[in-house]
Structure 1
Amino acid sequence: MITTRQLIAQARAREEAMARVEELLASASGTAHDLDGQVEVTVDARGKLLRLWLAPSAVELGERLGPLVVEIAQAAMREATQDGYNKVALLLGEDMTAMIEQMTGVPAPARAEDDDPGMTVEEFQRQRAERLGAAPPEPEPASSVEDEDAYWESFDPASLRSDR
């Protein structure tokens, strides 16, 4: 059973943690760049521009430069938002962070439905093989449970020694 003193201590700990949220968010930032490496933008969690870098070749973009800078700044802002949520989650826990997302109406970019999940290992290997001009690796046959069991039965933990 939780005592009154324990409840008070928990409430004080939460209050102290919430006071640190502002400090954590102030230290959050995000950086993004375009695919060609001509524009790089760094912003803080509030969207304040901290750094804008343009390659000398960016002048050749002409009228496309402005919209590109805005697009890159928006990507940097998503990165900064995620950085802020990551820092808050370490302090307050995932449940409290999810509650903050719901209250603010600003979901963590990693939870966005349209977030790109990245590429699979197989796709990465295929693209790497194409770049290197080699044939893509043959997919490994799916191992059966029996094969897996046999592997672990013959596994020698000494093979993990750090002096090898």
Structure 2
Amino acid sequence: MVEQAPMGRTTYEIVADAKARQDAFTQVESLMAQATGTGHDVDGTIEVTVDARGKLLGLWLAPGAVNWGPDRLGSLIVEVTQVAMREATQNSYNKVALLLGEDMTYLIEQLSGMPAPARAEHDDRGMTVEEFQRRRDERLRTTQRRTPSAPQPDQAEDDDVFSFDPASLRSDR
């Protein structure tokens, strides 16, 4: 025999929740259409803007771009367009995540086969928290040795300018 447990929500609440999700999903397409990305080459001779679907919205070439030659210029345009496309894809996922939440956005990434660039395996994940703290402590020791007016250990931590941890701001999105 199967045990039954009360759901805690009424049928009306469940239906309203389902309708809200359906409305949110209908907005995903327009959100993704609004997302754009722009890429530049290192020399500043090429700028490409695309939407999240890969549609070219803008291409700017500096007059000096002709000096690259057709083959190199073509490959540079493709490389810069790929950078712009990654930015547009990430921007679209950021917008969708605000609407649907992180879990549903991750599911969309899995279904589409296009993971968010912030989750790319080959990307540099930055330094770990431990490495950041080690470098911070080392920097503080060096600063305290050079500066005689450095904060004393008995002062409150919030008086210490270096107590802010920028790693706390890092996010995948």
Q: Where does 1:14-33 land on structure 2 (aligned, <5 Å)?
A: 14-33=21-40
How many pairs are equivalent?
135
Residue of structure 2 aligned with 1:105, choices 93, 99, 113: 113
Q: 3-state DSSP class of the match of 1:139?
A: helix
Distance 2:57 2:93 in 1: 19
The two structures, once aligned, show a CA RMSD in angstroms of 2.5
Q: Using the TM superposition, give the Cα deviation of residue 113 of structure 1 relative to its aligned residue in structure 2, in angstroms.
A: 1.1
1:89 equivalent in alignment to 2:97:
yes
* Stretches of structure 1 lacking an aligned partner (at least 5 in a row): 121-137, 156-164
Q: Percent identity?
A: 61
Residue of structure 2 aligned with 1:39, choices 41, 46, 52: 46
Distance 1:116 1:47 in 2: 24
Distance 2:106 2:15 in 1: 24
Q: Using the TM superposition, give the Cα deviation of residue 119 of structure 1 relative to its aligned residue in structure 2, in angstroms.
A: 8.1
Distance 1:152 1:112 in 2: 37
**TM-score (structure 1 length as normaliser):** 0.75
Distance 1:76 1:16, change over 3 A: same
Distance 1:118 1:53, change over 3 A: farther
Distance 1:65 1:32 in 2: 15
**Per-residue CA shift, 1:39-98, capped at 9, x if unaligned?**
000001110100000001111111310000000001100111001000000000001000
Distance 1:26 1:104 in 2: 15
Distance 2:120 2:63 in 1: 34
Structure 1 equivalent of residue 165 of structure 2: none
Structure 1 equivalent of residue 141 of structure 2: 141
For 1:103, the aligned partner's letter is L
Distance 2:105 2:120 in 1: 15
